[in-house]
Amino acid sequence: MQATNLGGAQAVTPRPLGRSDYKTLGLAALGGALEFYDFIIFVFFAPAIGQLFFPAAMPDWLRQVQTFGIFAAGYLARPLGGIIMAHFGDLFGRKRMFTLSVLLMSVPTLMMGLLPTYSSIGVMAPVLLLLFRVMQGAAVGGEVPGAWVFVSEHVPQRHIGYACGTLTAGLTAGILLGSLIASAVNRNFAPAEISAYAWRIPFLVGGVFGMFSVYLRRWLHETPVFAELKQRKAIAAEVPLKAVLRDHGRAVIVSMLLTWMLSAAIVVVILMTPTLLQKQFHIAPATALLANCVATLCLTIGCVMAGSIAGRIGAGRTIFIGGLALAVTYYVMFQQLAVDTSELVPLYAVAGLFVGVIGAIPFVLVKAFPPVVRFSGISFSYNVAYAVFGGLTPIAVSLMMKSNPMAAPLYVGAICIVGALTTLFIKDAPQTR
């Protein structure tokens, strides 16, 4: 803060973002991008992994189910990993857990790239693959809420929205990075080469860069908010999650409902849509993936915009307006593609931009819980809701599509309305700053 004299009175001017703030944001966003890349790269090479880590005599459908079952295990591990890491983050410091989450992600990713296949070590191959995937899930469960807490407690109050939006943009950039690297591998290697060795390259790259990110995070400092809590000996005197469930039920429910909106936007609009475009509108895979890359890039930009706007006009208004805009643009995209597919890229780009409204959601979550239990409150609400809603969304949309080809935009629209109505119940917890 800076004090200025106005007619003899002292007025406090909020300090602007400084070099250390941008350094913190940059390192946090970079680590988040690499961690999300490590988490999702598995899905791009699931067919090759299924062929290599299960018996050759196994039916294709069963091999596919087991491969995606291992992928899903990462999501199921998120709540437990997030809750445990948040518990220690509220008791012993944000920085330690923030660094640990990257290490816990990069090591198993690197090991996946080096893992012998079923032909070499038999049933231990899928068992170890599952173990590494669970470790990845636990890591990302701590990374996402931990990153939001870390950056929000470093920057000035009026820049928390921008910080959360920038960090969320970094996470979504990891999805784009995974898509681009997977496309590059498929473009430069024949299918036989991918099965032989090239599938390992993205995992090895992710693991090495993850280790580099661990090194970079050594230069980060503990958050001023936690340092103040420690100095005042105001650290939680009981299990933080117990206090969250007992004293902050409203914040938990609001956070879970907004996470439902976030998961619907990411899972349906970004992850499921390329497949839906190919099946429903007979769009070529290369075209669908190109449009998806453009939409994801726009999503990254939209996250920063939404976070910045939320810091100026409030997160509630931003989510209300942005959520309804997402519902409309995604519905219009499907309506238009049913008539003419030539405008796919611009239509998907606009929808992707409005998916960026999710950049304002962590701003709500950060302010919904007091600092003493903030990490645990966000981690529990976000990870449990994402595991449940994120896991059920593909099943729900697939079942709905049997009777209605507009199931995807209708589902997204309905959940966006739920998110918009939830903003009416947002309430900030008492803050120390």
Same domain, 170 and 318: no
Same domain, 98 and 171: yes
The yes-or-no verdict on residue 374 having pLDDT over 50 is yes
Select the more confidently predicted residue: 191 or 421.
Answer: 421
- The domain boundary, picked from 184, 219, 235, lies at 235
The yes-or-no verdict on residue 9 having pLDDT over 50 is no
For 79, other C-beta atoms within 10 Å of its C-beta total 21
The predicted model gives 107-114 an average pLDDT of 93
Same domain, 139 and 258: no
Most confident of 26-30, 158-162, 405-409, 414-418: 414-418
From 3-12, 223-232, 253-262, the region with the lowest mean pLDDT: 3-12
**pTM score:** 0.84
The yes-or-no verdict on residue 226 having pLDDT over 80 is no
Q: Which long-range contacts (CB under 8 A, 24 or more apart) does 52-61 make?
A: 52/117, 52/118, 52/119, 52/125, 52/195, 52/199, 53/117, 53/118, 53/125, 53/126, 53/129, 54/118, 54/126, 55/118
Any domain includes 334: yes
pLDDT at 411: 96
Residue carrying structure tokens 């593609």: 337
Any domain includes 8: no
Any domain includes 12: no
The yes-or-no verdict on residue 207 having pLDDT over 60 is yes
Q: pLDDT grade, residue 63 (50/70/90)? A: confident
The yes-or-no verdict on residue 236 having pLDDT over 70 is no
The count of residues in the chain is: 433
Same domain, 230 and 253: no
- The angle at the Cα of 62, spanning 59 to 66, to the nearest 5 degrees, equals 140
CA distance 25 to 95: 13
CA distance 109 to 138: 13
Question: How many domains does the chain divide into?
Answer: 2
Say how many CA atoms lie within 13 Å of 203 toward its Cβ: 24
pLDDT at 104: 85
Residue carrying structure tokens 């280790």: 211
CA distance 410 to 331: 7
Same domain, 220 and 247: no
Average pLDDT value over all residues in the chain: 85
Select the more confidently predicted residue: 79 or 232.
Answer: 79
Any domain includes 4: no
Same domain, 54 and 109: yes
Any domain includes 5: no
Residue carrying structure tokens 């917890």: 429
CATH number of the domain to which 199 belongs: 1.20.1250.20
Any domain includes 207: yes
The yes-or-no verdict on residue 408 having pLDDT over 60 is yes
Nearest-CA neighbor of 380 among 266, 223, 243?
243
pLDDT at 11: 42
Same domain, 192 and 248: no
The yes-or-no verdict on residue 351 having pLDDT over 50 is yes
Same domain, 243 and 328: yes
Domain that holds residue 71: 19-235
The yes-or-no verdict on residue 92 having pLDDT over 60 is yes
Say how many CA atoms lie within 13 Å of 137 toward its Cβ: 22
Say how many CA atoms lie within 13 Å of 327 toward its Cβ: 18
The yes-or-no verdict on residue 313 having pLDDT over 60 is yes
